[in-house]
Amino acid sequence: MAVPYTFGTATSSIPLSQLDSNFNTVITLGNTAIQLGNTVTTLNNMTLANVTISSGNVTLTNVSITTANVTTANITTAVIGTETVTTSTITTANVTTANITTDNITNGTVITSLTLSYGTANGVAYLNGSKVLTTGSAFVFDGTNVSLGVSSTSYKFEVQGSANTYFGQRIYNTNAGSSAVTYLQLGNDTNGATAQLGLNSSTNTTNFGGANGLYLSNGLSAPIAFATAGSERMRIDSSGNVGIGTSSPSSKLTVFAGDSATAVNQVIFSGGRSLGANVVGSAGAMLFTNSYWTSGYGSALISGLDSGSSGGGLTFGTTTNGGGTTGTPSERMRIDSSGNLLVGTTLTNLYAQTSGKGLCYRNSASLDVLTTSDNCIILNRTTTTGQLQEFRYNGTAVGSISYNGSLTLYNQTSDQRLKENIVDAETALTTILQIKVRAFDWIESKRHEKHGVVAQELKDIAPQCVTEGTNHEDGSIDIPWQVDTSPLVPMLIKAIQEQQAVITSLTARITALESKG
Residue 447: alpha-carbon gap to chain centroid = 64
User: Are the C-beta atoms of residues 197 and 183 closer than 8 Å to each other?
Assistant: yes
Q: pLDDT of the chain along its 517 residues, tens only? A: 444 545 455 555 555 455 555 555 555 555 555 555 444 445 545 555 555 555 555 555 555 555 555 555 556 555 555 555 555 666 655 555 555 555 555 565 655 666 767 778 888 888 888 888 888 878 899 889 999 888 889 999 999 998 899 888 889 999 999 999 999 988 888 877 689 999 999 999 999 999 999 999 998 889 999 999 999 999 999 999 999 989 999 999 888 887 776 666 677 777 776 666 667 767 788 888 888 888 888 889 998 888 776 678 899 999 987 767 888 889 999 998 889 999 999 999 998 999 999 999 999 889 999 999 889 999 999 989 999 999 999 999 999 999 999 999 999 999 999 999 999 999 999 999 999 999 999 999 999 999 999 999 999 999 999 999 999 999 999 999 999 999 999 999 999 999 999 999 999 999 999 998 6
Q: Are 478 and 471 in contact (CB under 8 A)?
A: yes
Return the pLDDT at 305: 82
| Gap between the Cα atoms of 496 and 482, Å rounded | 26
Q: In this structure, what are the phi and psi dihedrals at residue 514, rounded to the nearest 5 degrees?
A: -65, -35
27 in Cβ contact with 7 (< 8 Å): yes
Q: pTM, whole model, 2 decimals?
A: 0.58
**In 3D, which of 185, 187, 211 has the Cα closest to residue 198?**
185
Q: What's the pLDDT at 135? A: 83
The conformation of residue 240, written as its DSSP 8-state character, comes to S
How far apart (Å, rounded) are the C-alpha atoms in residues 254 and 246?
7
150 DSSP 8-state letter: S
Closest CA to 182 of 199, 168, 194: 199
Rg (CA), the chain: 55
CB-based burial, 219-244: b 16+ in 10 Å, e otherwise: eeeebeeeeeeeeeebbbbeeebbbb
Taking the alpha carbons of 291, 293, 297, 301 in that order, is the dihedral positive or negative?
negative
* Residue-level pLDDT at 114: 66
CB contact set of 354 (below 8 Å; sequence gap of 6+): none
